[in-house]
Amino acid sequence: MGVTGRKVRIGIIGCGGIAHAHMQQYLKFDDVEVVAGADLIPHKAEKFFEEFGVQAKCYNSHTELLEDESLHLDGVSVCTYNMTHAECTIAALKKGLHVLLEKPMCVTLEEGIEMMRAEKESGKILTIGFQPRFDENMKMVKKVVQSGVLGKIYYIQTGGGRRRGIPAGTHTTFIEKDTAGLGALGDIGCYALDVVLNALNYPKPLSVTGYTSNYFGTDPNYVRYQQNNHPEFAKKFGVDDFAAGFIKLEGDIIVDFRISWAMNMDTPGDTIILGTKAGLRIPSTDCWNGSIGGPLKLYSEVAGEQIVSEIPMKESNVPCFELKVRSFVDAIEKDLPAPIPTSQIIYNQAILSGIKKSADLGSEQIKVEIPEV
Ligand SMILES: NC(=O)c1ccc[n+]([C@@H]2O[C@H](COP(=O)([O-])OP(=O)(O)OC[C@H]3O[C@@H](n4cnc5c(N)ncnc54)[C@H](O)[C@@H]3O)[C@@H](O)[C@H]2O)c1
């Protein structure tokens, strides 16, 4: 049991796809009870809890749920689509609740700053759900970088892509502007940035030049839409399916970034980190979602010889999604800091927002200015 001597009481805001993964983890923990859920779609929260055989109170919006003080909640999982991340998170923090928020943090940098202000005023935990952080191979990337073996790091290439992988199966919340706000850029671009920025202890972004396109998403002949019999998807597509960016970080480091939900290529390249003493290659995967595609490779020079060393892949005993949700519960119970803090992820968000702004304005080099919170 937690510090309160009772089970941690959780509510779930947004009972769609990813809420299932949150619920599956909470059900594994005998020191947690999920007591409430909310969804804007009528009866969706009720059906969600029926599926799990869990008795919980159901509401038609985050506001209704948060106003019910009889629930005595400790925290919430915010599992809504990107465009309501900020609204739901700020409202929960203002009610004095801890928040585990799904990635990406939000859509705009301004929203991110408002969320951090609400977090600071509340004194509660706001952690952002980047589960790849808990993967043993991701941890190894950070260990290699932090060991100093690469020397001075000056250039990073990061990103990933899918040949045909626009996430629009049964619903369209990932591809509509009003719900998603960002496309591949926010959905999987946030992971690609976190891999490298976390390894480097999140250096501050200084400027961003960005580009986005949507040639595949808006094409009614896009093969996946036909398979799903949803010819309307192309009309609904209102976000990017490809994004690229050129980012300057403090410490004289360049990041060359590209991300794609659909492209005529197998991969837009592995993630590479170049240093003056060694370089690190992090192999990409077919379905980029923040996992590592094979052993890390370290390129260095020993006694005048150019060598390549392989770092064997590590197995994780516990799935990283479970570790992400567990780390939130532990932070609540043991009064720990947020496992994946906004002080880091706001830099990730600033880059995503900078790429979008630069692309929308058609302008080069947007200066990144992040207000103090
Ligand atoms: N970590 C991961 O691996 C992972 C995987 C998939 C999705 N996600 C993230 O999870 C989020 C949700 O994705 P999804 O696939 O579950 O989407 P979804 O559309 O299936 O579910 C979102 C639900 O939130 C509800 N909602 C929106 N605003 C609300 C509000 N104010 N109050 C109550 N309910 C509200 C919607 O009605 C919808 O049912 C996205 O931000 C996505 O990036 C993360």
Domains, the chain: 8-132+320-341 (3.40.50.720), 136-316+352-366 (3.30.360.10)
Cβ 9 vs Cβ 71: under 8 Å: yes
CA-to-CA distance for 218 and 230, rounded, in angstroms?
A: 12
User: Is the pLDDT reported for residue 1 higher than 60?
Assistant: no
Counting runs of H as helices and runs of E as strands, what totals does the chain give?
13, 15
**Structure tokens given for 64:** 């209704």
Which of 13, 18, 43, 345 gets mutated to test ligand 1 (max ligand atoms within 8 A of its CB)? 18
Angle at 237 between CA 191 and CA 232, to 5 degrees: 135
Q: Measuring from each residue's beta carbon to the nearest atom of ligand 1, which residues come in under 6 Å? A: 13-19, 38-41, 44, 61-62, 79-82, 84, 88, 102-103, 129, 131, 171, 173, 187
Cβ 307 vs Cβ 207: under 8 Å: no
- Give 25-82 pLDDT, tens digit per residue: 999 999 999 999 999 999 999 999 999 999 999 999 999 999 999 999 999 999 999 9
Angle at 122 between CA 119 and CA 128, to 5 degrees: 30
In single-letter form, the type of residue at position 349 comes to: Q
Q: pLDDT class for 6, splitting at 50, 70, 90?
A: very high
- Give 81-137 pLDDT, tens digit per residue: 999 999 999 999 999 999 999 999 999 999 999 999 999 999 999 999 999 999 999
Instruction: From the CA of 186, give the closest atom in ligand 1.
Output: 43
- Give 234-256 pLDDT, tens digit per residue: 999 999 999 999 999 999 999 99
Q: pLDDT class for 3, splitting at 50, 70, 90?
A: low
Q: What percent of the chain clears pLDDT 70, i.e. is strictly above it? A: 97
CA-to-CA distance for 76 and 249, rounded, in angstroms?
A: 34
Q: pLDDT class for 353, splitting at 50, 70, 90?
A: very high
Cβ 38 vs Cβ 14: under 8 Å: yes
Q: How far is the CA of 302 from the centre of ligand 1 (A)?
A: 49
CA-to-CA distance for 299 and 314, rounded, in angstroms?
A: 20
- Give 97-109 pLDDT, tens digit per residue: 999 999 999 999 9
